[in-house]
Structure 1
Amino acid sequence: MIDLYLWGTANGLRASLALAECGLEHRVHKVDITKGEAKKPEFLKLNPAGAIPVIVDRDGPGGKPLTLAQSGAIVVYACEKAGRFIPTDPRRRALAAQYFAMAASDVAGTSGTIFRLEFVVPEKSAANVEFFKQILLNYFRVIDQHLAGREYLADEMSFADLMLYPNYAARGPLLEAAGGMEHLRAWAARMAARPGVQQGMNP
């Protein structure tokens, strides 16, 4: 049994999505970051950084418990534990690694910057928000071009798709307003139709 500690952010949903798609039995514990619950002593024992998501796998490697933070690490761990969504073909695995990294750094990092500029920083700047929105849209357009003729990022469902989808879903209004990107939209529709994705996005 895996205990999953999360809140309904893109970071948290990546972990939930991976566990659900991999078919790994887990219990969900909501950690309300808007109320500072991730900074409480009991949670800091799990992750001293005070950030979700975190998993505690009671049956980790070697049969020993494992506590793991960082959504990307949890996605990869879940896929390896389940033996799913890691392409065996070297070229496909390399593509999965490339787009996993793009989702984790470029897409998620820029999306997080937009959130902070809109809601966290004391001095708001519409120009700065728009600047980073255009950067994010450019990343999605690059992914859209890559998906032409492909069903998934690595030609088969992989850990890269699990990493990207929650940020796509979180930025739905921005993408809808931008228009285009039909290959990306078709990919998102395929993802949304998967039972594991539906479960993982609604923990």
Structure 2
Amino acid sequence: MPDLSAFPITRKWPARHPDRIQLYSLPTPNGVKVSIMLEETGLPYEPHLVRFDTDDQLSPEFLSLNPNNKIPAILDPNGPGGKPLALFESGAILLYLADKSGKLIPADPARRYETIQWVMFQMGGIGPMFGQLGFFHKFAGKDYEDKRPRDRYVAESRRLLKVLEQRLEGRAWIMGDEYTIADVATLPWVRNLVGFYEAGDLVGIKDFVNVRRVLDAFVQRPAVVKGLDTPRRG
């Protein structure tokens, strides 16, 4: 049985199954990327809820694993060379889990890098821009009299959706017929934009027929249904 006692995070979130991947997360768009990936690949894991309302992400134990105090993070007791591996940043975790499982990433080198390209598109564009739009539309930013910041993120979010719409024309998924980590990275953010952020009308989501089609297919996947609710909020 692996010994994870050297990792301070296990003092706050004890591992009942230390032989499984330990997931420290919350059901946010970035968080569910990893829970969905774990469900899709079938890799054994144990989820731990990181509560923002009690500042768990700022605790010394969590910071020992991720000094950037963001979710998700994982601790794999069976990492490369059989040694434990701690990782943060959802994009890096998706790549690691894809390589570990041999799933959701093409074996062909050219298509592999094309897939990674679309993951980076989500990490550098869709995630930050949709998140800012959510702030200015639904949260504290909605009270600002000056709507120029919100409108700037509306325009950029629409531009990104147009890029995604064009990519999905004639394709079942971002990489064509093959469902990959590019979809796992991107579609939770689209779902959050039109759902939790309630910004569908604002960005004109009805105009993006392909995006809506693929999102509908995504949320019907059993692994996605379970991953979207993991870790369960207490």
Q: Does TM-score exceed 0.5, indicating one fold?
A: yes
Shift of 1:90: 4.1
Deviations 1:50-86 (A, max 9, x none): 1111101111111111110001011111111110011
Residue 163 of structure 1 pairs with residue 190 of structure 2: no
Give me the TM-score of the superposition, normalised by structure 2: 0.80
Q: So what's the TM-score if we normalise by structure 1? A: 0.92
Q: Is the 8 A contact 1:5 1:29 kept in 2?
A: yes
Q: Which is greater in Rg? A: 2
Cα shift readout 1:108-136 (whole Å, capped 9, x = no counterpart): 01122224445367x83432112202211
Letter in 1 for 2:80: P
**Cα distance in 1, alignment partners of residues 41 and 160 from structure 2:** 27
Deviation at 1:175, TM superposition (A): 3.1
After the TM superposition, which residues 63-142 of structure 1 pair with which residues of structure 2 at under 5 Å, given as runs?
Answer: 63-117=82-136, 119=139, 124=144, 125-142=146-163
Deviation, structure 1 residue 17: 1.3
Where do 5+ consecutive residues of structure 2 fail to align?
1-19
Maintained 8 Å contact 2:32/2:227:
yes
Alpha-carbon displacement from aligned partner over 1:130-159 (angstroms, at most 9, x marks no partner): 220221121012111111110011111111
2:200 paired residue number: 175
Tell me which stretches of 4 or more aligned residues in structure 1 moved more than 6 Å. none
Secondary structure of the residue that 1:163 maps to in structure 2?
helix
Q: How many equivalent residue pairs?
A: 203
Structure 1 residue 49, shift from structure 2 partner: 1.6
Change (3 A) 1:108 1:42: same
Question: Are 1:145 and 2:166 counterparts?
Answer: yes
Identity %: 31
DSSP-derived class of the 1:150 partner = coil
Say if 1:98 and 1:3 are closer, same or farther in 2 by CA, change over 3 A.
same
Q: Quick one: distance in 2 between partners of 1:176 and 1:76?
A: 33
Show CA shifts across 1:6-63 (max 9, x none). Answer: 1121111111111111111111111112321100112111112211111011111111
Structure 1 counterpart of 2:180, one-letter code: S
Q: CA RMSD in A?
A: 1.9
